[in-house]
């Protein structure tokens, strides 16, 4: 039986992003320290010069300015060598007229192992994973997609924005925010955690602090 001390545990939500030095198309980078004070999205793709991955890189680049407006950087990654990344970037620019401006990690397999990006049931390439890391180096969101399914970058962008709004205002974010079926662009007020606060909920709602469907379901516009 394998010694548990030798096992590499996949990082979980709330963990510090693992310290690592990586080779990228923009040179060596130290993660997460080189992005101190910034959010970043690290996303892995199965391989260069593949159809779905190409559409994803174009989609990420198209929204790169929107991510930067949120103080958030993008970092791509696969187990391809750096010269393959460079030639693929050149192909995308020449044939699709899109210039990839964010770095791509050329992984030897060490990063994929540390982050749990190779799933044996899906082959030997990295799955489509997304790690959203905040400005303190904490992992806040993890998405995993199979190789057959391209990602929705607008949802990743929405998720980063929503987490930043949540952090700043101490609120929770409802489904489909900011275009929810129930409360439009309102946010969720954290539920009461004791009897006294629960009884005061409707009184506070009468004063216009927020709106309540019930004492445990209150919402407000920021």
CA dist., res. 90 & res. 97, Å (int):
10
CA-to-CA dists, residue 151 to 6, 18, 127, 154, angstroms? 33, 24, 11, 9
Please report how the helices 51-62 and 82-96 are oriented relative to each other, as an axis angle in degrees rounded to 10.
70
Which residues belong to the active site? Answer: 53
| Alpha-carbon span 113 to 20, nearest angstrom | 12
Task: Determine the Cα–Cα distance for residues 180 and 121; give it in Å rounded to an integer.
Answer: 36
CB 141 within 8 A of CB 130: yes
């Amino acid at each position: 039986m394998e010694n548990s001390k030798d096992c590499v545990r996949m990082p979980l939500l709330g963990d510090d992003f693992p310290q690592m030095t990586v080779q990228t198309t923009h040179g060596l980078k130290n993660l997460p320290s080189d992005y101190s004070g910034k959010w970043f999205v690290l996303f892995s793709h199965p391989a260069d010069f593949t159809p779905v991955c190409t559409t994803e890189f174009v989609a990420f680049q198209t929204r790169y300015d929107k991510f930067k407006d949120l103080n958030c950087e993008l970092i791509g990654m696969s187990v391809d060598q750096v010269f393959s990344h460079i030639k693929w970037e050149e192909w995308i620019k020449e044939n699709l007229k899109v210039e990839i401006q964010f770095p791509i990690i050329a992984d030897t397999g060490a990063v994929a192992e540390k982050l749990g990006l190779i799933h044996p049931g899906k082959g030997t390439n990295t799955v489509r994973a997304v790690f959203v890391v905040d400005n303190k180096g904490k992992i806040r969101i993890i998405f995993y997609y199979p190789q057959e399914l391209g990602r929705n970058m607008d949802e990743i962008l929405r998720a980063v924005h929503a987490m930043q709004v949540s952090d700043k205002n101490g609120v929770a974010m409802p489904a489909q925010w900011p275009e929810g079926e129930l409360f439009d662009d309102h946010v969720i007020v954290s539920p009461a955690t004791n009897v006294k606060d629960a009884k005061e909920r409707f009184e506070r709602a009468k004063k216009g602090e927020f709106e309540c469907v019930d004492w445990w379901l209150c919402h407000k516009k920021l």
